[in-house]
Chains A and B, each alone.
Chain A
Amino acid sequence: MPLLDIRGLQTSFHTRAGTVRAVDSVDLSVARGETVALVGESGSGKSVTAYSVLRLLPRGQGAITGGSIRFDGTELTTLPEAAMRALRGNRISMIFQEPLSALNPVLSIGWQIAEAIRLHRPAGRREAWARAVDLLAQVGIPSPAQRVHDHPHQLSGGMRQRAVIAIALACEPDLLIADEPTTALDVTTQAQILDLLRTLQAERGMGLLLITHDLGVVAEVADRAAVMYAGRVVEQAPVRTLFDAPSHPYTEGLLASLAIEHLRPGTRLPEIAGTVPSLLHMPPGCAFAPRCGRAQAACHELRPALSQPGPHRVACHFPLGAGRRTPLELLGEAA
């Protein structure tokens, strides 16, 4: 049984222009000790999926409207708020993109880590403080006994993100959700933070759900990846498979935009033509069809569902890769 098992998740937002399905029919699972990357452009529903798991959608605007989220056997979508609160920071933690804004500017980082411990553990002030120093050492902050007194503005960007990670790990969670944890950092720091996450995960056997738009990060740390497009998962596969033999034309397009080292200087960078459809005006068929070179009549009418559970799942009527022809594709050829 996977640690986190999301099935058919649907999260809707009420906006003035109408109700929008920011996340629709998302299937996703994370096992203990596994790193799953959730990849997609901004607005594709990655973060909303994460906030749905933690049930932290903006009150009165966003709500889970369908599907199930099981965490270690417990259904989260119907869990009472008090039980949910006992889970957050304790068994499921989250780290954020911008560490400076995720830390409280007027409190020392030691206070913030100790508070995270004392929220869920019957630890005394002194004990929690000692543990905070310990955690800072574990996330690789030098001279932790002194840094523990520092306020966020006294630390560098990389150190701040380490502090945020220390807070998230304070109660040894089973699942860590990292929402673009390296996007706000410079390249050398990015590599260090990714290394740190990988090490900590291996030590603790946590499940890690890594949200990113950076395929380089995916290749580096993830075991499996799910690609999201306009609120849906379009492809899900082990990272090697995904990079070597993508099945969905969108995934292929994303990968093509990465392979720029073979380009001759002066040529245009490869891109996927067109733009992401507005969630308010979704095409009736495949959301990617208007931009897809392989789209046929069926694609514009019928929305493809994610293929049956297995290691490699794809939501496409005409997936790439020879040999595996769907009935629709055969139909298209016959016509």
Chain B
Amino acid sequence: MSRVWNETGIAQAGPDSALRRTAARALEFGRLVLASRAAVLGLLLLLAVVAVATLGRLWFPGDPWEMGGPPMLWPGEDPAHPLGTDFMGRDLATGLVSGAGVSLLIGLVSTLISAFVGVTIGALAGYYRGWVDAVLLRVIELFQTVPNFVLAVVLVAIFKPSVATAVFAIGIVSWPPTARLVRSEFLQLREREFVLAGRTIGMGHARLILTQILPNALPPVVVVSTLSIAHAIQTEAALAFLGLGDPNVMSWGTIIGIGREQVVDAWYICGLPGVAIIVTVLGFSLLGEGLNDALNPHLRRR
């Protein structure tokens, strides 16, 4: 194995060595991330949530809406329903497992949308400046002055509540911070000499934006997006709590909404999904913090 890594080995290898270089770079990055205790803890929490969403589904494959047992069973009271049931006898363990998948899905997809919109708008504003920037900045401000959650509620209410509309609504309300961040990165980076050097070899605007500036602007976007996933999960839970979730899908927010009436008699119905949300959000926040330490060159080894 050690022979593969020595100098001559690399010299002889063709495309295979490029693969190895990429792997080495990924390892180096992994080491940087794992150097942060926050990132390690966050990753462990998220791994647990992912395990619940995937392996847990094998354990509790039933329909979370099915009334499968006696109502208001406390956790541990009946081994058939280890986490108890709600007031209509629906199994809470099945609900929580189903909610984990929904939360992760909505968090990831809506963040992809918000990152895409934010990066596009921020890049155009920061690169072109002038009137393009002025117009786009007004659009960003417009979205920032309307309270995010109210806008999300309105969007979901206009369309039929479903997973797709929740994803869309959360994505639409959460891109402005990314756009601002990318814009400020672009404003700085466009003045760097390597951008001028790109122009001297004949690059056009699109190429300068995509190949020269964007790769340099991405690290902070990764950090913000990780935090934005956490926020999206909270927003989804809040929408579901208000009854604006997908009626066919059991999410953590839905369960909290269901348990609201019995919160004094049976706090566990609200408590368990609440803990699940806290763990997931905390996991993403810690991971974001760790990524920030690893990706931010100013903080590195100082």
A residues contacting B by CB (< 8 A) are 54, 56, 60, 85-90, 93-94, 96, 98, 101-107, 115-116, 119-120, 143, 145-146, 149, 164, 167-168, 170
Contacts and interface: CB of A to CB of B under 8 A. Distances in A.
A146 B10 CA distance: 8
A149 B21 CA distance: 8
Given A96-B193, A104-B194, 12 more contacts: A85-B202, A85-B203, A85-B204, A86-B202, A88-B202, A89-B200, A101-B194, A106-B215, A115-B211, A146-B10, A149-B21, A167-B201
22 contacts: A56-B199, A56-B200, A60-B130, A88-B201, A89-B200, A93-B201, A94-B200, A96-B193, A101-B193, A102-B193, A102-B196, A103-B194, A103-B197, A104-B215, A105-B194, A105-B216, A107-B215, A115-B201, A119-B207, A120-B202, A149-B21, A164-B197
Nearest to A91: B202
A277 B141 CA distance: 46
A89 B201 contact: yes
B25 to A, nearest CB: 9
Contact of B11 (A86, A98, A146): A146
Q: Most chain-B Cβ atoms within 10 A of its Cβ — which of A89, A143, A170?
A: A89
Range, interface on chain B: 20 to 34
A107 B199 CA distance: 16
B31 interface: no
B292 to A, nearest CB: 17
A87 B202 contact: yes
A102 B197 contact: yes
Contacts of A101: 192-194
Nearest to A173: B201
A98 B202 contact: no
B212 interface: yes
Interface of B: 10-11, 17-18, 21, 130, 192-194, 196-204, 207, 211-212, 215-216
B83 to A, nearest CB: 47
Contacts of B212: 104
B194 A170 contact: no
Nearest to B14: A145
A143 B17 CA distance: 14
Given A85-B202, A104-B212, A106-B215, A149 B18 contact: yes
A206 to B, nearest CB: 15
B11 A145 contact: yes
B253 to A, nearest CB: 39
B193 A89 contact: no
A176 to B, nearest CB: 11
